[in-house]
Structure 1
């Protein structure tokens, strides 16, 4: 069947060859054997069941956690010419019944369902009259209580599988499974270890960056403006922070939306649709804006606050660059983020052993934020990936910023905290250092301190950023409680004794992800027009990577157009003439401009 699978790959998806791991997985499935695929986001996991669904005799069921993701995938399959449908709570009773009948008639060989659907008696009755050829479990890490996104609804899957006769092969897919989680998935789905297909966690097109002790609001605003033509996601840990950041970006004239669990389902759907259809450039969201993101042209993901663990970070960051084009993943670290995540774990209703597991995972990502080694290497080590080389493109590997000696300024801050008996927070300490004349200074007689006004030449905000840097560099610690106070760590004493210097790199400046390309901009505009005419998301017409290929090769005929990666027969028929004509017009105008 692999030869037939190769033909489907070219005809519908426009690709000449399978990616790493895809062929191995399909060989298992075609022989009737179950398998687990651990592949990075954007690594082509969905093809591993979509192509077999067209070749196996029966219905392929895909258990997927989010309704929005199902709709996106079904719409994208229809654009490629593959019949697919979904069954979930977004459908009316009449719509659901009609789709049931269409599945029975054999109109669809690929059906997406939510895990909650397994509790429906009517659905289970329908299955008794169907031949299920394959069951795919997407986001399979949700099965494991040791995973970062355990979902109780997934626990019904093994029981559900036991009721299907004859037993179909099962394909478990995930992008974020540690060795422990992978073993849990295999045990629950009865998949032998030798049928684990691990392609590695490396995302060649992504670059990872961690920035500490900087003005986060300014960085985000400047970065988004610098990359105004690019689509991006900004994650924050709380609803309040999402609303605050969203309001600031809108005020700066940026087409930004907000998304969090406190919004109604209709509001969330409206925001997500606007983002997917490129009506919004940026989405500011909590992790509620989760696995249902199939948009391929997200060029950057910024974490304005540190997430709870490496798995969440890698999955959320991995929503950048699904089309394979260069993209950036940026984490803006502040020590206060750790306290926020600790509070969220404390307030959760997790069992004590799972809370301990979450605290351990939290420490892992704190260590990630402080490592001076390759960031990608740290992530790969965490997931047990045997790759050993440094990436050469993360903020640790390519940091060429000049270093400034700030020992004198650091001593001023550390000395001030000491003289204030380590009893006050960042704001008060900064006010003492700049020589504020507010009432609190008088109430506590702070103006009598030798450190009062030592940094009066600097602004209060600048001093607070310096304190943030010293906290992030572990010279200062934040105490617990609702109003954290600053305390010196064991690293502060050598600085105060002039035994050690404090060095600080220049503030990082936002840069463009990709250079401007007039032809790319023209084709992107054409893509938006065609998407609007066909009522689909722009990335479903062609990915950014395919548009870049058009710019590079400038196809003039259908034959040349079909050779471009990402162009299948269906899309050639639907969009080929429009793009070929646009490329021809641009090329002629370009020649005319050069001649004149």
Structure 2
């Protein structure tokens, strides 16, 4: 029996008639035995780049993944497609592990997922030496970088795959890697001769927005109620306590909201993650312990109540929204305290100085992203080395351009006040000084007699906070970590000397306009809603019977195509994108019968 082609596997197994972007080139290269470095955004079809070669090349494909908690769902999705897939990790009992190892050795599996720690064990390496391995796919490859946001030391040891399996093609795949991280992936994994495939980092269906923090809970409630009622989302918080408080508050407000952080028991985390994946409309409130590799396609929003540590972390976390290609929102609150808190965390951390220097630079880039008055998407893509000249039209600064003003005079006044008061006082004291507020402390220190005392009384405290926040983000002011005192940064000299002017943005409160994104998928018209709800109910019933998330049966996009095309026999159903042969045979009759009941 001849080996199938990539195109035939795409159609018969996955139910699609065409590849996207560089998928075909990547797959052809790996099928031919070549190594590859693949950078593709979340939701860009990265998994197909190793799943299809695994089904075309003889032998078992080994997928190295750090995501033990998600392997079961990933394998379940493949099994629904008729793929012989399994995973080897610490959640298995001895009997199950032995059975899967036997299948690997006998060549009866197409794909096996293995955590890096398990792969590196002598028992596993001996097993793979006896088996016929078709390829190694190292997912989340940015974990190899010591400067990255998800560093995993065991990833460093994966370079030995090139030595022990010299004739087996290797793929490194990631959705988040700046230029230095890419270079480190190549070096650490021995991929000097690999072909590089850099897909655009752009996720055009995601709308990026940053709002000035006020009443954070009320802002979050307004955002969800106005734009995403009843929809699945993720809310990221910096601390475990804030996660718990936010989840409790949202539950009291009528949402299905669950906490997720490393302080919960493994069983509780697994239960909450399972509900998020398998139920509809669930919101997870989480620390960054949640989400890497999440395969849920219909997450409609990702909200950050605290500033992420870096652009890479922000991009990866927001990338969990809108994997199905439909409109989604990346919404973040940001304030002066974020810059102070994040810098304090860096300086008080146990990292070596080189590491802290890198973390400071990444934080500076994150702060600059928050404060820009130009297109956020252009800034975001530029960070990853992708140049774009035109604004996106789908971020807050494009949809509602911020007003800017010449802030040179006010910036110089603020810098002078910080300098004259000794560069050791926090934001509140400096603002009181600028606005001429009288205090015993100021009189004792003689600050009420300084030339800068009261010189800024024409601005409100809120306006001064905005100016100082932006000066910190732009690198003119730095924050002393022990007590939060404001200090002059080296970059402020030209501004203080009058050799430079400065434009700052005017902070505006109120609702942001939200432009609808053009959808390529068919719309759900009012008259279609009964059929749409019937198909969703059928999908949920089948998912519960199979004990899998609903999207493993069919994605929303596939159901929308069913509503639009209304196939009433199995042959017509075969033409619906996302319906492969195995799913057609397993579920086709139930879906066409349901459609037939609604066709008049």
Whole-Å Cα distance in 1 between the matches of residues 283 and 513 of structure 2?
A: 16
Work out the CA distance in 2 between the residues paired with 1:359 and 1:571.
50
1:341 matched to 2:353? The reply is: no
- The alignment status of 1:324 with 2:336, answered yes or no, reads no
Farther-moved stretch of structure 1 (189-198 vs 256-265) = 189-198
Output the CA distance in 2 between the equivalents of 1:55 and 1:501: 56
Structure 1 CA distance for aligned equivalents of residues 329 and 430 of structure 2? 35
Which deviates more from structure 2 when the two are superposed, residues 117-126 or residues 471-480?
471-480
76-85 vs 464-473, which deviates more?
Answer: 464-473
Counterparts of 2:464 and 2:260, CA distance in 1: 31
TM-score, scaled to structure 1? 0.83
Whether the aligned pair in 1 keeps the contact of 2:105 and 2:128 (CA below 8 Å) is: no
Partner SS, residue 111 of structure 1: strand
Q: Is the 8 A contact 1:404 1:506 kept in 2?
A: no
Alignment of 1:59-138 (within 5 A): 59-138=60-139
The answer for the alignment partner of 1:505 in structure 2 is 508
Local SS of the residue matching 1:396: helix
Alignment partner of 1:329: what SS? strand
Post-superposition shift, 1:128? 2.5
Corresponding residue for residue 201 of structure 2: 201
**C-alpha displacement of 1:218:** 1.3
Q: CA RMSD in A?
A: 3.8
CA distance in 1, matches of 2:148, 2:485: 34
Report the CA distance between 1:521 and its aligned residue.
4.2
Alignment of 1:347-496 (within 5 A): 347-399=348-400, 469-474=466-471, 479-480=479-480, 484=484
In the superposition, relative to structure 1, how do residues 21 and 2 fare at CA in structure 2: closer, same or farther (>3 Å)? farther
Compared CA separation, residues 218 and 430, structure 1 to 2 (3 A): farther
- The aligned counterpart of 2:583 is 571
Q: TM-score scaled to structure 2, two decimals?
A: 0.83
- Give the SS at the match of 1:397: helix
**1:339-391 superposed Cα distances (whole Å, 9 cap, x missing partner):** 22223323433322122111111111111111111111111111111443321
1:276 to partner: Cα distance: 0.7
2: CA distance between counterparts of 1:194 and 1:96?
33
Alignment of 1:52 onto 2:53: yes
Residue 275 of structure 1 corresponds to which residue in structure 2? 276
Q: Which residue of 1 aligns with 2:520?
A: none
How many correspondences in the alignment?
563
Which of 551, 557, 561 aligns to 1:539? It is: 551
Q: Give the deviation of 1:69 after TM superposition.
A: 2.5
Change (3 A) 1:507 1:267: same
Alignment of 1:182-197 (within 5 A): 182-192=182-192, 195-197=195-197
> For the residues of structure 1 that align with 2:29 and 2:69, how far apart are their CA atoms?
29
Matches within 5 A, 1:241-260: 241-260=242-261
1:509-588 mapped onto 2 (5 Å cutoff):
509=512, 519=529, 520-588=532-600
The 1:345–1:424 alpha-carbon spacing in structure 2 relative to 1, beyond 3 Å, is: closer
Structure 1 residues 500 and 557: alpha-carbon distance in aligned structure 2, compared to 1, 3 A threshold: closer
Residue 478 of structure 1 contacts residue 484 of structure 1 at CA under 8 Å; is this kept in 2? no
* Cα deviations by residue, 1:164-192 (Å, 9 ceiling, x for unpaired): 3x530101111111122212222233334
Partner of 1:142: 143
Question: Any stretches of 5+ residues in structure 2 without a counterpart?
Answer: 497-501, 518-522
Does structure 1 retain, via aligned residues, the 8 Å contact 2:424–2:486? yes
SS of match in other structure, 2:130? coil
* Cα distance, 1:466 vs structure 2: 6.2
Structure 1 residues 581 and 159 mapped into 2: Cα distance closer, same or farther (>3 Å)? same
